[in-house]
Structure 1
């Protein structure tokens, strides 16, 4: 496989306000063609990071490279090939959806056929003559995405793109985002505090909490790091633990169960036989694998609400 440099690469990217780190030493690597899900609880530092990637705020420390170029010296060139929707969409309320798109078209200097295509992609073509301040929250969000798509950028950065949408709208935007890499060759970086959203859209994920990047990799590797465990329930935990320890197993007591790292079926059968031979009745044996949600909560701290 060719070693291609990432489309976005940050080194020790940090942002402090009054001595407090909002983002601390983040090393992101987003590969071309990925849908990279930037996942974390509210207030974790996602928006701050995305703003630094676009040069909207200056890092306290660290560097940002986009398209293999340093953002500090090449910002206009980089932004030319980038579309973004950060926080809530910006639009003129007294103008129609179409007029808002025309304003953006002049700013981006793109052909007017792009307007029709972008509005069609977000399904606003039938609402384009309506004033933007009469749009529902979901329509405003879709207008923001249409504006981000207008120049058909190589890189699309979306901050919580399904914010304020009803379930049907969320489904539509999800399908839309999934189609963009193949259809238009776009790489997408999107942030969300919703695990289910990232799980259904992203090919890779970065998990951030309290400004620190806790995990980065493919969705598969996140799941693979999650080995199933064997849980055993008996009426004499202490004796069961002792018997298993003498046979080279490494159980630990957790509540009313013994927990062991994953074992093959024949090993589980052998262990069960061993306990029964020592007159320790086994009332339950379970295999337990954490859900992605459990992994996410373990990484980000259970006490934090999503």
Structure 2
């Protein structure tokens, strides 16, 4: 697959504060790329630099294999985006707002109708947007981004303001876009469970630096599962194992061990049995994306 977006040591400073530090982001054709990070991690700033809305302090960006500065018009003609919050004219109806973007994009009427239908606003298109709920405004913003059915779609927190049913509908829409419309999608979100169900690859950014980039499967394989051990006397077992260099944490009725391979699990079991300790249960707890994310960011960031 060809690379749709690539950044090279992309950085952005605001005064003395460095918001993005040497980010090398890679999005391949046909992917749904989930961009994750705590609030203030640099997600929106990075997306703005990719779209040319903010000028990098250092580094460069290519989209569709072309430099952004030299090919801005071509790149933006093939790109749809919703960054931070939708832009609209409150005194105009939903359809009238769509017509404004239609003229800018020079797309046929059928695109307007299809985009409204996709986000389920076709029955609300004649209402003034000032009367829309927050979720409806968000849907309108997504419809505007979709209207030209671009090759690249960048959505910054697209489920903001949506109820659980709406979140599910947008999730299913995003999952269908690559195959149905041949789109590549970049989506930033603080809803880790949604990214886990939607994205084919992810990037995790924290304090402006990229911590991980690749497939979700590769991330989960990189982080060994937690091993839980229950014995007849956990306090004594913890003391015995500490003498052998094992430092488990207490987790309810279990001792929890991180980053143990199969050989180490067998060894600690042998140690306990040889010390006359009954091992009642050994379990493996695989980590979901949320647990991995919190571990990687030191649990210090608010999502």
Q: Do both proteins adopt the same fold according to a TM-score greater than 0.5, normalized to the shorter chain? A: yes
- Tell me, yes or no, if structure 1 residue 134 matches structure 2 residue 131: yes
Q: CA deviation at 1:127?
A: 0.8
How large is the Cα RMSD of the aligned pairs?
A: 2.0
- Tell me, yes or no, if structure 1 residue 84 matches structure 2 residue 81: yes
Q: Calculate the TM-score normalised by the size of structure 2.
A: 0.91
What is aligned with 1:262? 261
Q: CA deviation at 1:113?
A: 1.5
What are the residue-to-residue correspondences of 1:43-82 with 2, within 5 Å? 43-82=40-79
SS at 1:215's partner residue? strand
What is aligned with 1:248? none
- Tell me, yes or no, if structure 1 residue 121 matches structure 2 residue 118: yes
- Tell me, yes or no, if structure 1 residue 286 matches structure 2 residue 280: no
Q: Calculate the TM-score normalised by the size of structure 1.
A: 0.90
SS at 1:252's partner residue? coil
Structure 2 CA distance for aligned equivalents of residues 121 and 290 of structure 1: 34
Q: CA deviation at 1:5?
A: 3.3
The C-alpha deviation readout for 1:32-63, integer Å capped at 9, x for no partner, is 00000001111111111111010001000000
Structure 2 CA distance for aligned equivalents of residues 194 and 237 of structure 1: 36
- Tell me, yes or no, if structure 1 residue 199 matches structure 2 residue 196: yes
The C-alpha deviation readout for 1:119-155, integer Å capped at 9, x for no partner, is 1111111111111111111111111011101111000
State whether residues 37 and 190 of structure 1, in contact with CA within 8 Å, keep that contact through their aligned partners in structure 2.
yes
What is aligned with 2:142? 145
CA gap of 1:271–1:61, structure 2 versus 1, over 3 A, is closer
What are the residue-to-residue correspondences of 1:176-187 with 2, within 5 Å? 176-187=173-184
In the alignment, structure 1 segments of 5+ residues that lack a partner are: 246-250
Structure 2 CA distance for aligned equivalents of residues 152 and 34 of structure 1: 16
SS at 2:202's partner residue? strand
Structure 2 CA distance for aligned equivalents of residues 149 and 199 of structure 1: 23
More displaced 10-residue stretch of structure 1: 273-282 or 128-137: 273-282
Q: CA deviation at 1:116?
A: 0.7
State whether residues 241 and 247 of structure 2, in contact with CA within 8 Å, keep that contact through their aligned partners in structure 1.
no
Structure 2 CA distance for aligned equivalents of residues 224 and 153 of structure 1: 34
More displaced 10-residue stretch of structure 1: 290-299 or 126-135: 290-299
CA gap of 1:240–1:84, structure 2 versus 1, over 3 A, is closer
- Tell me, yes or no, if structure 1 residue 110 matches structure 2 residue 107: yes
SS at 1:205's partner residue? strand
Q: CA deviation at 1:281?
A: 4.2
State whether residues 249 and 257 of structure 2, in contact with CA within 8 Å, keep that contact through their aligned partners in structure 1.
no
What is aligned with 1:10? 7
SS at 2:52's partner residue? coil
CA gap of 1:237–1:127, structure 2 versus 1, over 3 A, is closer
What are the residue-to-residue correspondences of 1:210-229 with 2, within 5 Å? 210-229=207-226
SS at 2:69's partner residue? helix
Structure 1 CA distance for aligned equivalents of residues 221 and 237 of structure 2: 33
In the alignment, structure 2 segments of 5+ residues that lack a partner are: none
Structure 2 CA distance for aligned equivalents of residues 240 and 158 of structure 1: 49
What is aligned with 1:299? 296
More displaced 10-residue stretch of structure 1: 80-89 or 287-296: 287-296
